[in-house]
Structure 1
Amino acid sequence: MNDTAQFLALALMLLLPLSALIARRPPLGQTVKFALAWIAVFAVGLLLVSQFDRLPSLRTLLYDQQVVGQETRIRMSEDGHFYADVSINGVERRMLIDSGATITALSQETARAAGIDTESAMFPVALDTANGVVEAKRGRAETVRVGSISTRDLGVVVSPAFGETDVLGMNFLSRLGSWRVERRSLILTPSNQE
């Protein structure tokens, strides 16, 4: 939404309550108080919307991850994807869950923070991604935890081509007892064997 459209929307939102006040013809002092209250409400709302990306607690309320019994439920984000709060070797990251990715893919920064050794890998691997073929190094995460689900010794690939993106792939999902989507929520159920 451009600035002009935002201004017009805000003006319309302010005009409606003001016109209701004027139609009732309350005393001027009361009208000014109501007008200032409405302006404050809309200003706070506008501030929250404009700073949405900087408010992780607000994002968590809207795109939360909950443990219900043994299941971990992750609500779909606005972009139609599922993002999980994941612990990799004790390092917390927000990761895209992608059933189209064969293997879990980590950014170099995440791999470094989690202490994942990629130097032992003799040769890089070529991966066919949505952005073409990229070269990556193999590594292993000792522990990966998502909500109530924990797994050990998970294979990962690391590449500068991934940028800052971390992806939880099918090699993680295949270790689950089950996973499914119901009413815009991804439901992960642990395996009894993990």
Structure 2
Amino acid sequence: MRAWMIAVILIVATAALIFLLNSAFPDALQNDDNQMQLFASLGWLVLLGSSVVLRLRSRPGSSLRALAAWVLIFLVLVWVYAYRVEAMAIGQRLLAVLVPGHGYTTVSANSDGTVSGKGEMRFAVNRDGHYQVNARVNGTYVTFLVDTGATDVVLTMLDAQRIGFDPDKLRFTQRAETANGVVRAAPVTLDEIALGAIVIGHLPASVNEAPMSQSLLGMRFLNQLKSWRVENQMLILQQ
């Protein structure tokens, strides 16, 4: 009798759920695809409910514990889906703190439930108090040091080779004053430089002839943006 009572309760609960959902979304069941999905879901629910009833009859104690665990898992999954935008933002921010050069995109939910970026990137300060960014240059990832004191985007010779520039074809016709004196640089053009949601094409840059520890992302790139600022130890770039 207990098993039949549980089965009746499950059927009534399912019918009540369908009624509530249909009241909240009156047009949802007008779509044939939605109706097919509903019937398929009901079939799975009946199958699972039957197995639960049979198991409750044989081992009620362990079955109730397993049922409670599955209900808890289901509720957690529903919560994650409902707050997926916030969860994604928290996860991206944690990754940005652990790997400062990674950065993360500010995300928002569209009216149709999908997630989109705003063309904004945020980078956490590194241990040295500087800001590094991992950018995709002509399809190759390069780690830049953001330098507001640098006029150009300056590549090390090694990064220039990785991107695809032939050192033998570079013409070092520029002169630049650095802390180590005057150095020569070769002008180049980057087909595309992308930082997550931010993409800029045909950007002039230069390859430094002297050894450098890291490529520099200077004002020529920052001036292409709508805005950039430092706030709460975060570098915020917006296109």
Q: Partner residue of 2:219?
A: 170
Contact 1:72–1:146 (Cα < 8 Å) also in 2: yes
The runs of 5 or more residues in structure 1 that have no matched partner are 1-57
* Residues 96 and 104, structure 2, Cα contact 8 Å, conserved in 1: no
Deviation at 1:161, TM superposition (A): 1.3
Secondary structure class of the residue paired with 2:122:
strand
On the 8 A contact 1:140/1:156 being kept in 2, the answer is yes
Q: How does 1:1-194 map to 2 (within 5 A)?
A: 61-63=98-100, 64-68=102-106, 69-116=118-165, 124-190=173-239
* Contact 1:71-1:187 within 8 A present in 2 as well: yes
| Alignment partners' CA distance in 2, 1:80 and 1:178 | 21
Judge conservation of contact 1:105–1:157 (CA < 8 Å) in 2.
Answer: yes
Aligned 8 A contact 1:111 1:158 in 2: yes
Instruction: Output one character per residue of 1:133-154: Cα deviation in whole Å (capped at 9) or x when no partner.
Output: 1111111110001121111111
Residues matched between the structures, number: 134
Cα distance in 2 for partners of 1:79, 1:157 equals 25
Per-residue CA shift, 1:162-190, capped at 9, x if unaligned? 43411111100000000000000000000
Normalising by the residue count of structure 1, what TM-score does the alignment of the two structures yield?
0.62
Q: 1:147 to 1:60 in 2, by over 3 A?
A: same
**Which deviates the most, 125-134 or 158-167?**
158-167
**Consecutive aligned runs of 4 or more in structure 1 exceeding 2 Å deviation:** 116-123
CA RMSD, aligned part only?
2.3
**Secondary structure of residue in 1 paired with 2:150:** coil
User: SS of 1:112's equivalent?
Assistant: helix
Cα contact 2:155–2:208 (8 A) shared by 1: yes
Which ranges in structure 2 are unaligned for 5 or more consecutive residues?
Answer: 1-94, 107-117
What amino acid is the match of 1:159? N
Change (3 A) 1:155 1:137: same
Q: Residues 165, 122 of structure 1: CA spacing in aligned structure 2 closer, same or farther, 3 A cutoff?
A: closer
Structure 2 counterpart SS, 1:70: strand
Q: For residues 159 and 123 of structure 1, what CA distance do their matches in structure 2 show?
A: 8
CA distance in 1 between partners of 2:96 and 2:231 (Å): 21
Ranked by relative contact order (alpha carbons within 8 Å, sequence separation 6 or more), the top structure is: 1
Rg larger in structure: 2
Equivalent pair of 2:134/2:144 in contact (CA under 8 Å): yes
Normalised to the residue count of structure 2, the TM-score between the two structures is: 0.51
**For 1:172, what is the secondary structure of its paired residue?**
helix
